[in-house]
Structure 1
Amino acid sequence: MARHRRRHKNHEESGSQGSSEEEKLKGRGRAGGAVSIVNAISTGFGAALGINLQTEAELETTDKPQIKLSINGEDADPSLAKAVIKVFSQALGVEVKGAEIRTYSNIPVAVGLKSSSSAAVAIANAFLDALGKKMAADELLRNVAEASILSGTSITGALDDAAACMLGGIVATDNHGRKILKHILVEEKLYAVIYVPPGKTYTASFRKELLTPIRNIAAAAFTLTLEGKHWEAMTINGLAHSAALGLPIEPAMNALRAGAYAAGLSGTGPAVAAIVAEERVDEVADAFSAYEGEIVKASVNRGRMVDICPC
């Protein structure tokens, strides 16, 4: 990504008052979307799959001591953006007085489709771009996880979600230990068909004790993921979390009947994601169309190979 610098000079010309010069930096970043394979809230171990929804971020530093954020042209709560700037400034040893950040995304918000993780990665990339800095993928993701907890947008740091948004493919992580345990590239061309019912789920008000009864099920699903049985893991995880949260399992079951490889609740919902071969996309979408809400289709982000330190 190209770095853009713009200089603003004081209107006073050099003379008895001298002259001052202040540099404003501009950067751009982007990240994909993701859906859950295993929810990490109950165990700290999670897995997610990258999909080709997207968030783009534009950042410009300012001389005002505030962080301003807009999402798709509307003013938004800057808590996550503030945390990202704070954590990355500390990591880089730099000071930034303020910034204006604009994000543009086609990811539905607060339904379990990782909009916050995608935004955090995109903003982090835009900040690095503005400063002309580079950061290893695992270090960047650990800092994003720290910012997510600091801002209250994640319970565990959502390293799995952020990694899937950034790297694509299937990512399995130890969220509490900030470790990427496995990154699997998806060989087959697949699609995510997602049912988004009415309603929102916000992390700040989520009662994580609701998931305590299915903790062992989530752990078993994570083991399946490490063994390469990620579609079985996704279905088991999704159905168990729907049951624990009192959400209907019928949409996922109907997607499976229509030929989906896997289907289940993403995150804490209410969105239900199904992974399907290209020839089954319409059938699974038809199965979801029986329910009130929106249907989102996106190709699976098959992933790119990067060097990750599992430590």
Structure 2
Amino acid sequence: MHGRAKAPAAGTILNALATGVGSAFAIDTETTATVELDDSGEIRGEIAENPDADARLIERCVELVLETEDSEFGATVRTESDIPMAAGLKSSSAAANATVLATLSALDVEMRREDACRIGVQAARDVGVTVTGAFDDASASMLGGVTVTDNAEDELLARDEVDWDVLVWSPPEQSFSADADVSRCRQVAPMADLVADLALDGEYGRAMTVNGFAFCGALGFSADPMVDAMPDVDGVSLSGTGPSFVAVGGREVLEDVREKWNSLEGTTWLTTTQTGGTRTI
């Protein structure tokens, strides 16, 4: 009757808005979901950092799991997160993944993690927090490491484990994926195809850098943070639909870049990749 799970954030290698193919990698910053089942028949959600925030996503995740298992329980679900909301760091995917696994744990039910991930993706579509379904972001958070996906088919094309240091700069502004200008993003489809080829060849750093320049242009973000990080980082990109940027590379190099990014308004922090994915606790 009680379940808890943790899910990591993720950074972007390829934004799926252009072609439906996307790629992301899990980073070691997490969201925790706690689910308590009851006999009320109602589902109530709360986001600890902002009790007035819209909790429909996590409520819908619980609802879909209960429907899948033919359960008539009600539930209370609460998330706590170190991931900035609406910052391009996949906070919604992490919240959905943690909620789905916590609900399954409360029911004492096991499910393949890819299938559990698809429940969260469907919930995100149902409540309108995503354009593409975000299977790339969700799969990276659920499975850990790097994933490449076809979001139109919710198909996992590749998964790889990586061991990177990661620098994140998250400005104070928010950018909601559902508000992105999809038509502008589709105009950079040829570049997205190139990024997909690079990612499938394991050239993740080059892939994310090309992605970053393409989607800064499409979404109207300055590429200055990327230029400040080059040429020594292995890769740097706008993450998701922004406004955060992520860079990967050697620790010393990233510490130098952090000094430059610290002059920008917002929050900058160093972390690592995460390969374990979402887990019950």
Q: Shared fold (TM-score greater than 0.5)? A: yes
1:180 to 147, 156, 161: 156
| Aligned 1:277-292 pairs, distance under 5 A | 277-292=250-265
Shift of 1:269: 0.1
Q: Which of the pair has the greater relative contact order for Cα pairs under 8 Å at 6+ separation?
A: 2
**Cα RMSD over matched residues?**
1.5
User: Which runs of 5 or more structure 1 residues have no equivalent in the other structure?
Assistant: 1-24, 305-311
Counterpart pick for 2:180 among 206, 209, 212: 206
Q: Which amino acid aligns with 1:270?
A: P
Counterpart contact for 1:172–1:182, Cα < 8 Å: yes
Give the C-alpha shift of residue 185 in structure 1.
Answer: 1.0
Is the CA contact (8 Å cut-off) linking 1:37 and 1:230 kept in structure 2? yes
Using the alignment, how far apart are the partners of 1:66 and 1:207 within structure 2? 36
Q: 1:29 to 1:302 in 2, by over 3 A?
A: closer
Q: 1:73, CA displacement in angstroms?
A: 5.2
- Please say if 1:161 is aligned against 2:137: yes
Q: Counterparts in 2 of 1:48-197, with a 5 A limit?
A: 48-72=24-48, 74-75=50-51, 76-96=53-73, 98-186=74-162, 189-197=163-171
Letter in 2 for 1:255: A
2-side partners of 1:154 and 1:86: how far apart? 18
Alpha-carbon deviations, 1:208-241, whole Å to 9, x = none?
1121211121121011101111111100001110
The one-letter code of the counterpart of 1:85 is V
Alpha-carbon contact 1:197-1:270 (below 8 Å) kept = yes
Distance in 2 (alpha carbons) for counterparts of 1:264 and 1:174: 20
**Cα pair 1:67 1:78 within 8 Å, conserved:** no
Mapped partners of 1:222, 1:167: distance in 2: 19
Contact 1:185 1:303 in 2 (8 A): no
User: Share of identical aligned residues, percent?
Assistant: 34
Q: Equivalent residue of 1:110, what SS? A: coil
User: What is the alpha-carbon distance in structure 2 between the residues aligned to residue 106 and residue 141 of structure 1?
Assistant: 20
1:57 Cα shift? Answer: 0.8
Q: Which amino acid aligns with 2:242?
A: G
Structure whose alpha-carbon radius of gyration is higher: 1
Q: 1: distance between equivalents of 2:48 and 2:269?
A: 18
